[in-house]
């Protein structure tokens, strides 16, 4: 995949946001089980974790629209995100520290 800035102004894809959020949510659940981590305690409730996951998914899609030339990809973007985003995100930011996710992590 080429990460050249797109010359066209891409619009955020709600399917991509959903796929990213689902992938990250599932990765958090899997990671919490293996680490015996209580996500509710880490985020003052699961609803707050949902908000954090959605913020990250939206932020990443917005960043992607500005930095990825989608015409250069061979993958269907939402499917790629569903398969890879959660694990990749948790490779950059610890589960208990997702609140700190920012553009530098993109």
Block mean pLDDT (10 aa), the chain, length 106: 49 95 98 94 96 98 94 94 98 96 95
Residue 51 CB partners (closer than 8 Å, separation 6+): none
Residues with Cβ within 8 Å of residue 105, at least 6 apart in sequence = 89, 92, 93
pLDDT value at residue 18: 98
């Amino acid at each position: 995949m080429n990460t050249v800035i797109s010359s066209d102004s891409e619009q955020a894809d709600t399917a991509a946001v959903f796929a990213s959020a689902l992938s990250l949510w599932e990765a958090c659940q899997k990671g919490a089980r293996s680490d015996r981590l209580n996500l509710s305690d880490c985020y003052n409730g699961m609803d707050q974790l949902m908000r954090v996951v959605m913020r990250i998914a939206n932020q990443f899609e917005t960043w992607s629209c500005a930095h990825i030339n989608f015409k250069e990809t061979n993958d269907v973007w939402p499917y790629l995100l569903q398969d890879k985003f959660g694990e990749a995100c948790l490779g950059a930011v610890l589960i208990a520290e997702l609140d700190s996710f920012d553009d530098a992590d993109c």
